[in-house]
Amino acid sequence: MNIDWSALLLVSVVTVGVATVVVTIFAYGAAKLAAAHQAQTEGRPAGWNAVLAKIMFGTVGAIGLFGLYLVIPYFH
Amino acid sequence: MALIVVIIVIITALVFDFTNGFHDSANAMATSVATGAFSPKAAVAVAAVLNFAGAAMSTEVAKTISHGLVDDKLVTPEAVFAGLAGAILWNLITWFAGLPSSSSHAMFGGLIGAVVAWHGMNGVYVGNVLSKILLPALVAPVVAGLASVIATKIAYSAANQNHRQVEDAFQMGQRLTGSLVALAHGTSDGQKTMGIITLVLVAGGFQEAGTGPHFWVICAAGAAIALGTYSGGWRIMRTMGKGLVEIEPTQGFACEASATTAILVSSHLGFGLSTTHVVTGAILGSGLGRGTKVNWSVAGRMGIAWLLTLPAAGLIGAFSSLIAHQGIVGFVGVLAVIVVLAGVIVWRANKDRIDHTNVNDIKGADLSGDDAPYTVKYLDSDDDFKPVVRSKVIGETTDSDDVWQIPSARVRGWAPIIVHRPAISVVDALAPSGGAK
């Protein structure tokens, strides 16, 4: 039996790491979005919250595009 | 090889592709359907289109069907046919039971059974079966589950759940991750069927070795998996979306993001994991991460189904192989038996039909207890979004998954509410923590 333990370990670590990072950024993006909305409904300017939300969603979007690149065989 | 044999094997491969589609549409869409990110019909439509697109994009045919599990010289058209027969029947049986199970494992099990029945154990590489089938089946739910536990905990601590924007964002995230899973599924599983058909065409002398799949093969395989996906596999979707844990949008996104990551990472770092095992593990993990009740008896039944997949499909494959080796009469005989058994299973399933209208219902659920399996949310006419509360049944019913007006006196001015489940009795809403207004 030939088990590729290093590949197994790599897959486990990268999966947990990437999933955690993606969800963390997305969740903070959602929190900033809600804060921006809250500010607007109270008549205050959304300020940095709106910008940060866009940056965070943009980062997750970029990671998602990389996922799309991995899925589509044409690219590699 | 006779043309008729080639035709029978191709038809069987396409039928397997169809069962593969409806068995696995829950993997991509169960959590999105459960949380309402997609309506059931929209979910299967999106998944079907993306499965077709995925299948059409991926036309590099694998060099072997068996992936080193059995001696490739023994993978005759009879063995392939018998293996497909085993996989189709096992997929139908597990679908009837509402249990997700890996279609690839069923296919390999059928093939192994077919080879063992005709050539004995010598044709099977047992070490590879352990390292490529058994070990990944154990690892996949653990890795995806662990990622999901951590991701869910973080998602709940980072974002205040009582904002509508937060819920909307997570639902959008669910739609995107679910779509990515559907696309990835099309590229990997649609391509498997193309590989089988192409290898059979080559073996029969109808195609030159080393050439890619014909255009019609790509279209047929893509269409079969897309049609299967669109037909929904609602029985499995209900189990995965509603049977394991109650899924909220935040949790659904954390779960789906973990599953998507596990699928993409595993297929590109050389340790392939089954989509079914990954998604199920992630759903369980998200339940643990949120600290909600996990239905371990359902999870246990799934585990048993996974363990049985290889031997059960193998047994059917073995019988089919012995009969198919009797020549063309044997082929047609096996085909007839499959058609009859499939008809019986579908007929039985229709007696207790599950489709897009009742996919989110839980059979026999106690709607009156504290564990009422639905949630009621207040979306009040002011701006603050009140916490999720569970409701007690007092007698009124709603028949749509719409915003539903509760008599304002009852809810002290917080109407309307959104009821996340059709046809439930909603009655008095409990005062949210922090006291009533």
Using the beta-carbon criterion (under 8 Å), do B184 and A71 form an inter-chain contact?
Answer: yes
Query: Which pLDDT value is given to residue B391?
Result: 34
Q: How far does A45 lie from chain B, in Å, by closest CA?
A: 17
Dihedral, CA atoms, A8, A12, B34, B234, nearest 10 degrees? 0
Burial of B29 (0-12, 13-18, 19+ CB in 10 A): buried
Q: How far does B163 lie from chain A, in Å, by closest CA?
A: 6
Q: Cβ of B266 under 8 Å from any chain A Cβ?
A: yes
Which residues in chain A (4-63) have CB-CB distances under 8 A to chain B?
4, 7-8, 10-12, 14-16, 18-20, 22-24, 26-31, 33-34, 37-38, 41, 57, 60
Query: Which pLDDT value is given to residue B369?
Result: 38
Residue A28 within any structural domain of the chain: yes
User: Could you tell me which residue, B431 or A24, shows the higher pLDDT?
Assistant: A24
Q: Which residue of B has its CA nearest to A11?
A: B266
Q: How far is CA B260 from CA B87, B202, B263, B316, in A?
A: 25, 35, 5, 32
- Is the pLDDT at A57 greater than 90? The verdict is yes
Residue A12 within any structural domain of the chain: no
Query: Which pLDDT value is given to residue B160?
Result: 76
Cis peptide leading into B416, omega within 30 of 0? Answer: yes
Q: Tell me the chain A residues in contact with residue B146 when contact means C-beta distances shorter than 8 Å.
A: 12, 16
Residue A38 within any structural domain of the chain: yes
- ipTM score for this prediction: 0.94
Question: How many structural domains compose chain A?
Answer: 1
Query: Which pLDDT value is given to residue B373?
Result: 35
Buried b (16+ CB within 10 A) or exposed e, B224-235: bbbbbbbbbbbb
**Considering CB atoms only, which of A8, A24, A37 is closest to B139?**
A8
Query: Which pLDDT value is given to residue B401?
Result: 37
Q: Tell me the chain B residues in contact with residue A16 when contact means C-beta distances shorter than 8 Å.
A: 143, 146-147, 150
Q: How far does B127 lie from chain A, in Å, by closest CA?
A: 4
pLDDT band at A31 (very low <50, low <70, confident <90, very high): very high
Query: Which pLDDT value is given to residue B1?
Result: 65
Residue A45 within any structural domain of the chain: yes
Q: Can you tell me the distance from the alpha carbon of B100 to that of B112, in angstroms, rounded to the nearest whole number?
A: 21
pLDDT, mean of each 10-residue run, chain B (437 residues)? 88 95 93 90 96 86 77 87 95 94 93 92 89 88 96 91 84 94 89 89 86 91 95 92 88 95 88 90 95 89 94 96 92 93 93 81 42 38 33 34 34 36 36 33
Residue A9 within any structural domain of the chain: no
Structural domain containing residue A26 = 18-75
Q: How far is CA B106 from CA B2, B20, B147, B301, B338, in A?
A: 27, 10, 27, 17, 15
Q: Are A53 and B158 in contact (CB under 8 A)?
A: no
Using the beta-carbon criterion (under 8 Å), do B257 and A71 form an inter-chain contact?
Answer: no
**Considering CB atoms only, which of B54, B170, B383 is closest to A30?**
B170
Q: Tell me the chain B residues in contact with residue A4 when contact means C-beta distances shorter than 8 Å.
A: 131, 270-271
Residue A26 within any structural domain of the chain: yes
Residue type (1 letter), B397: T
Q: Can you tell me the distance from the alpha carbon of B26 to that of B302, in angstroms, rounded to the nearest whole number?
A: 14
